[in-house]
Amino acid sequence: MSYLPIQQLLKTAQIGTDVTVKGWVRTKRESKNAVFIALNDGSTINNIQVVAEAGQLPEETLKLITTGACLSVTGQLVASQGAGQAIEVKISAVTIYGPADPDKYPLQPKRHSLEFLREIAHLRPRTNTFSAILRIRHALAFAVHKYFNDNGFFYLNTPIITASDAEGAGEMFRVTTLDATKPPLTEEGNVDYSQDFFGRETNLTVSGQLEGELGALALGKIYTFGPTFRAENSNTTRHLAEFWMIEPEVAFNDLEDNMNLAEDFVKTVIRYALQHCADDLAFLDNRLKEEEKTKKKEEQSELGLLEKLQFVISNEFVRLTYTDAVEILVNSKPAKKGQFQYEVSWGVDLQSEHERYLVEKHFKKPVILTNYPRAIKAFYMKLDEESSTTPGQTVRAMDVLFPGIGEIIGGSQREDDFDKLVARMHEVGIEPEALWWYLDTRRFGSAPHAGFGLGFERLVLFVTGMGNIRDVIPFPRAPKTAEF
């Protein structure tokens, strides 16, 4: 029995034709003359209404048509008499694939808290909010691949299990097949990892960047898009133990090119979502408006979700150095009135409150900060030249800051000089031997190059307007959380 997904049916529907629709019951409503069933198959936020005359369906069938039940319905597509939909299906036959006992099915047609839905993450994609989020997540992921493919980048799958522990991007998870209770030990009493699966200690990757650089210095333009891991015990609305990261890396790009790429990239994928997810975004825009109404006036955001997305794609990002940003912050009203929780001075890592002040109050635009102090950035970032205003003190780093969310992208031009890179490694306590393969790219055919990383869930969080990062990934992983 061939049938069309509801998304296609609503677009191509021809009144008067016979159709089959399949999906899950969202609501059932009975009037004196008829039964109205809202059916959704996940292809769109929009339901299709299927209608039976009163008495048409046997009582035992009708009893099984409850919220969550899965049906196949055949009938004629007709213009709807009721408000809220243009067309509906006049039922001629119903098959019940699977009922959903209303006494046990947890998703009833009422408002469930996001906390509750997190506990039933295996079922929450059946709700309007989460199906909208997942469709938008898909569209954004596709837009990412499309953007890079259109622009001559090659997708590079960097390793997930890695023996390299020198990146310093965060705490790592150990990957092992050794006996957990009685691991083999060396004579010194340490675990003998030579007997482990890989013959050495291995961990889950925190970033594909270093391997990405190998790729860029061979293929020119590459990007990664894969899972990365942080074993940090942080139970916040902004952190996950497992998240997806996008990391483009481009040979011959400098910091300026890198900024241009980041701005064009993030605008293009947001524009794609606006074009391809209009219904889902309208739903979430409305959801956010309702939520905002429950807040105090002064805590409500100035912009709605759609306005915020338009704001980002239609404004040129402000670009300024860290040094200039610190000056603005030091002279700002909140600094003078002592309203910042953390004090600002040249050399400190900016806090979220500072980033948000710059974006939301001072410039009222997305901001790219550059040329950060070397002491607060990673070893692989290129030192600023003698000709810069802060020679040797700063690195060619960039952070892209967004309203509401703070840092969404972090990147840099990379140090391509072998000697300077080795010196920096010594400075931060990394053994050059441990990264011999990384250094080989500077030893042989080195080239200027630059790249950045964007946490995919941060992007989805921004585009969906959700408040907790655990709500924008299907099955969140966090401390004490690994269900499903």
Q: How far is the CB of 14 from a second copy (least distance, A)?
A: 19
Q: Shortest approach of a second copy to residue 415 CB, angstroms? A: 12
Q: Which is nearer to a second copy, 82 or 159 (CB)?
A: 159
Rounded CA separation 248/7 (Å): 34
CB of 326 to a second copy, least distance (A): 32
Residue number with CB closer to a second copy (173 or 363)? 173
Nearer to a second copy, 275 or 314 (CB): 275
Give CA–CA dist 448/367, Å, rounded.
Answer: 24
Among 90, 112, 118, 145, binds a second copy (CB under 8 A): 145
Stretch that binds a second copy, among 62-70, 297-305, 327-335, 346-354 (CB under 8 A): 62-70
Asked if 164 is part of the footprint of a second copy (rule: CB under 8 A), the reply reads: yes
Nearer to a second copy, 225 or 452 (CB): 225
70 binds a second copy (CB under 8 A): yes
Rounded Cα distance between 317 and 398, Å, is 12
Q: Which of residues 185-224 bind a second copy (CB under 8 A)?
A: 185, 189-191, 197-200, 202, 204, 211, 214-215, 217-221
Closer CB to a second copy, 126 or 354, in the complex = 126
Tell me the β-bridge partners of 454.
246, 409
Cα dihedral 291→294→298→299 (10° resolution): -50
Contact between 352 and a second copy by CB under 8 A: the answer reads no
Interface stretch with a second copy, choices 9-17, 37-45, 47-55, 286-294 (CB under 8 A): 37-45
Please give, one letter per residue, the 3-state secondary structure of 219-267: HCEEEEEEEEECCCCCCCCCCCCEEEEEEEEEECCCHHHHHHHHHHHHH
Q: Please tell me the distance from the alpha carbon of residue 71 to that of residue 40, in angstroms, as a whole number.
A: 10
The one among 122, 295, 336, 361 contacting a second copy by CB under 8 A: 122
Which of 91, 134, 359, 466 touches a second copy by CB under 8 A?
A: 134
Among 116, 252, 342, 346, binds a second copy (CB under 8 A): 252
Number of residues that bind a second copy (CB under 8 A): 108
Amino acid of residue 49: Q
Nearer to a second copy, 200 or 297 (CB): 200
Mind giving me the DSSP string for 88-118? Answer: EEEEEEEEEEE---TTT-S--SSPPPHHHHH
Binding track over 228-247 against a second copy, x by CB under 8 A: -x-x-x-------xx-x---
Which residues 6+ apart lie within 8 Å of 66 measured at CB?
25, 28, 99, 100, 101, 102, 105
CA distances from 260 to 66, 209, 265, 349 (A): 52, 19, 8, 24
Dist CA 204 CA 163 (whole Å)? 9
260 makes contact with a second copy (CB under 8 A): no
Q: Residue 100 interacts with a second copy (CB under 8 A)? A: yes
What is d(CA 329, CA 458) in angstroms, rounded to the nearest whole number? 25
Q: By C-alpha distance, which of 88, 94, 91 is closest to 72?
A: 94
Our finding on whether 175 is near a second copy (CB under 8 A) is yes
The mark string for 275-314 relative to a second copy (x by CB under 8 A, - otherwise) is ----------------------------------------
- Pick the piece of the chain touching a second copy (CB under 8 A) from 17-25, 264-272, 346-354, 385-393: 17-25
